[in-house]
Copies of this chain bind each other. A is one copy, B any other.
């Protein structure tokens, strides 16, 4: 069966401020140090499974230019711009409609554009395993990540180790971000995986499930499909999208549907959720630092220092993140990385939009 991909690239990525900005969010940045941006790496990674003509990018009008620049081989009509962000369910539904309209029924890999995966070969094997399961009936397949810590920042998937379909486990339920004690129990039980937000299904299967669990949204999506290619296309897209509720595919479909399977992946996944990820994905030096650019460090440990044009002199620092850009410098204690959003709130309140 034809394999296609829908890559979701509409996020704002505030947690990588000041390098990520409203006009250049995380998926369009290179954080690995090899010059390839997150979205480019996402496309590179699946090139052995999906032709570039069959890759669709869900984003919004503000990022169309960046997508074209960074993925010059992508057919322009494969860039799907959501008029407003309404979380993942409408985004995925729109992608499914476009793909189904072009190819009839097809397999669809739904992938975030801003995650990193260390072992591409294992990842592609997992995707192939997932495709095999998704081809059967209306199965909805998700990639789960074998957890290596009781992380409270992810949702978890409870799988049933005794019910398998090919190389996938049957999913019992999805659980929201747990507290630390619960997460420790999950880790010890070996029956939970992290929810990676990556899905594999047939366009017919996800649309059938949306029709069942999100009927209003489904009808709107159908009206959008009918308008494609007509002069009303853009107007219908905007009207329908604005009327959609903001719903995640997890909440809207996955937590309710039947026939959910999960392939347990072990391919070095990182959702690159904050600057701390840079300490995981980039090589640290003998002092535990990741240092880039014009930087002098004296007695500095376990810090991430991303220099710009200016010289940065770091003296006696511990566990700090320093990011210099043309017009703003972030200096953040690692444990406070979650508070970067407060900086952005503050800037909004003070009308300093030029820094957002």
Contact = CB atoms under 8 A, between A and B. Distances in A.
12 contacts: A299-B336, A310-B328, A311-B355, A313-B340, A313-B343, A315-B331, A315-B336, A315-B339, A316-B339, A318-B333, A322-B331, A324-B329
Contacts of A324: 310, 329
A34 B315 CA distance: 28
A317 B339 CA distance: 11
Interface of A: 17-18, 296, 298-299, 310-318, 320, 322, 324, 326-333, 335-337, 339-340, 342-343, 346-347, 350, 352, 355
A316 B315 CA distance: 17
Contact of A313 (B316, B330, B335): B330
Contacts of A347: 296, 311
A313 B333 CA distance: 11
Contact of A332 (B313, B328, B339): B313
B310 A343 contact: no
A343 B315 contact: yes
A74 to B, nearest CB: 35
Contacts of A322: 331
A315 B330 contact: yes
Given A329-B324, A331-B322, A18 B342 contact: no
Contact of A333 (B312, B316, B329): B316
B339 A331 contact: no
A340 B315 contact: yes
B331 A320 contact: yes
- In this complex, the member of A316, A322, A347 whose beta carbon has the largest number of chain B beta carbons within 10 angstroms is A316
Contacts of A315: 330-333, 336-337, 339-340, 342-343
Nearest to A342: B298
A201 to B, nearest CB: 40
